[in-house]
Structure 1
Amino acid sequence: MEIRTLRYFLAVAREENMTRAAETLHVTQPTLSKSLKRLEDELGKKLFTRHSFSIKLTDEGILLRNRAEDLVSMADRIEQEFISLDDITGGDLYFGLAESFQIRYLAQSIHSFKQTYPDLRYHITSGDTEQVMEKLDKGLLDFVVLAESADVGKYESVVFPEADLWGLVIPEDDPLAKKKAIHVDDLIGLPLFCSEQSWESDIPKWAGDKMSDLHLEGSFRLSYNASIFTKEHLGYLLTFDRLIDTSPESGLVFRPLMPCLETKLYLVWKRYQTFSPIAERFLSQIQSTFTAI
């Protein structure tokens, strides 16, 4: 199975049309059709359902698309790493990021790093722990930022300079907005929004034996989307401070949880990972920077 054939397959999956895919790949349609037929023969599975004016993926095709995207991304990354081996001015870095105001420390480090390596290119993937760790394990990312510590047997990490403060985002006209802090009894019986990961790991540390009295109205991976639902009075958002606009014009307010609940942030990489030269230099700089702060 060749990478070129997988590129052909992904183009057809994306365009859902053989002619358009051939045009984007700059190959003839017969060449493309023969390559895909050989791929189906090699795998022993039908990958496409062909209609009059379009092509749809079969279940086997969807599975291959998911795997092929990772394989092609890895091939592209290997190619770029070798191209940049002799490039002392730049290269590519790949990050998977959790949501936190502390991402500013990472951004500041990248900005400083680019003063020395002006041709640096960086690629950002956002997601929860499960999403970004899967890509890290596959070698598609150099570093991930997690709102939890990682398995020290498999990963190494450096902690960010501060901690994230938990609180509740509330519509400004809601009675709860008058409180200076939120206690667990305030939330009993209310519709709550939170990430599924935090609902299972962080909030129970705060709520204790009253966790079963709390109601998760809906889980969100992005706090911004949850804040829109909150603004429309569909529920209350449990999230980190400084993630959501709670300025006087926003219609929302943030109130800290009491007792205080904080979460540390970690920059994580695989133990014994073979870094590209640019990634190794960046890690050295950010370790020194975080230690100094």
Structure 2
Amino acid sequence: MEIEALEKFLIIAATENLQRSADRLDTSPGALSKTLKRLETELATRLFDRVGKQLKINDAGRRLQSRAVEMVAIARRVRSEVGELGGNQECRIAAPTMLQLAWGAFIQRKFLAEETAVRLSFTSAYEALALKMLSRGEVDLALITGAVLGQVSSTMEVLPLGSLSMYIAAGPDHPLIAEPGTQVKAALSDVLQYPFAAPRISPFCGEERGIGSDGWPEINYPRKVQVVVNDYGVLCQLVLNSGLLAFLPESLITEMGGVIVRVEDGPVKSREELFVAGRKADTTWLSKFPAWV
């Protein structure tokens, strides 16, 4: 069996849809269908049940899926060890958008400093889905918080990545910012006079928890939420360009060019412990992180 065919099979198994698989692989559904038929012919068994145009992975497909993850992981490890024979390598990372925004640039800089031939591929996925994608072999690493450590399977290894501290974020021209700088101090009563932008959905697990899902102690210190937005890219732009405040990771505020507002008289800072997970069968990329953090 060709490793490339197994890599394509894993994508088809994850999506159970040829069109979506083709979109992810930048190919055509017809080409993937031919690859799948060749694989089924080679194994002398069907891997999916067909109902019209729909695919549903069957027992044989699930058995191959677990083996294919191992085989592809070994092939990727060999490519990494052989180096020049492997050509350009790709490290695929699944993580919530928030963690990508807060840590993506850091990871990219580290990889570029040591692995100039590596291409990083980020996929947005809430934590539970990121772990599922990792177990199915769709990605090589998953970024998660300590809240989902109980969902990590025995086939995975987890390393501490650091922590994520949440602070109030403001744009450089916000009225709270009297002088240019990256940080200011303010009284909570002053902060609460100004409107916020906030999400309804938890940035990590993806559950809809209402206002306060960003970690702000809403019950004790209710804010004036003027804009509700779940897209953190848009939220960052609102902070920088629309005069709104937000509750964001310290590293993200710095990366986006905002100002950290430290509250002097109220417990409105929260902290999340971060971890990177990889499969024990392939620690090629995971092994790099201890030296970086």
User: Normalising by structure 1, what TM-score?
Assistant: 0.56
For the 8 Å contact 2:94–2:139, the answer to whether it is kept is yes
- 1:75 Cα shift? 9.2
Distance (whole Å) between structure 2 residues aligned to residue 195 and residue 102 of structure 1: 22
CA spacing shift, 1:221–1:74, aligned 2, 3 Å? farther
RMSD: 4.8
Matched AA of 1:146: I
Alignment of 1:89-168 (within 5 A): 89-90=82-83, 92-97=90-95, 98-111=99-112, 113-114=114-115, 120-152=118-150, 154=152, 157-161=158-162, 163-168=164-169
Distance (whole Å) between structure 2 residues aligned to residue 12 and residue 215 of structure 1: 37
| SS at structure 2 position matched to 1:175 | coil
CA spacing shift, 1:235–1:129, aligned 2, 3 Å? farther
Query: Where does the alignment leave 5 or more consecutive residues of structure 1 unmatched?
Result: 32-38, 48-60, 66-71
The match for 1:83 among 71, 75, 92 is 75
For the 8 Å contact 2:161–2:276, the answer to whether it is kept is no
CA spacing shift, 1:151–1:83, aligned 2, 3 Å? closer
CA spacing shift, 1:14–1:146, aligned 2, 3 Å? closer
Distance (whole Å) between structure 2 residues aligned to residue 216 and residue 163 of structure 1: 25
Matched, 1:210 2:216: no
The match for 2:201 among 189, 196, 218 is 196
Matched, 1:267 2:275: yes
For the 8 Å contact 1:148–1:265, the answer to whether it is kept is yes
1:248-268: CA deviations, max 9, x gaps? xxxx64423444624344223
Distance (whole Å) between structure 2 residues aligned to residue 42 and residue 103 of structure 1: 39
Partner of 2:41: none
Matched, 1:283 2:286: yes
Partner of 1:175: 175
Distance (whole Å) between structure 2 residues aligned to residue 141 and residue 13 of structure 1: 14
User: Normalising by structure 2, what TM-score?
Assistant: 0.56
| SS at structure 2 position matched to 1:132 | helix
- 1:123 Cα shift? 2.8
Partner of 1:226: 235
Distance (whole Å) between structure 1 residues aligned to residue 107 and residue 117 of structure 2: 18
Distance (whole Å) between structure 2 residues aligned to residue 214 and residue 85 of structure 1: 51
For the 8 Å contact 1:127–1:221, the answer to whether it is kept is no
For the 8 Å contact 1:195–1:221, the answer to whether it is kept is no
Matched, 1:255 2:261: yes
Task: Report sequence identity in percent.
Answer: 11
Matched AA of 2:262: P
**Structure of greater Rg:** 1
- 1:183 Cα shift? 2.0
- 1:9 Cα shift? 5.8
Distance (whole Å) between structure 2 residues aligned to residue 148 and residue 194 of structure 1: 21
Query: Where does the alignment leave 5 or more consecutive residues of structure 2 unmatched?
Result: 1-5, 38-45, 58-63, 84-88, 179-183, 204-211
The match for 1:240 among 240, 249, 255 is 249
For the 8 Å contact 2:93–2:120, the answer to whether it is kept is yes
Distance (whole Å) between structure 2 residues aligned to residue 123 and residue 267 of structure 1: 18
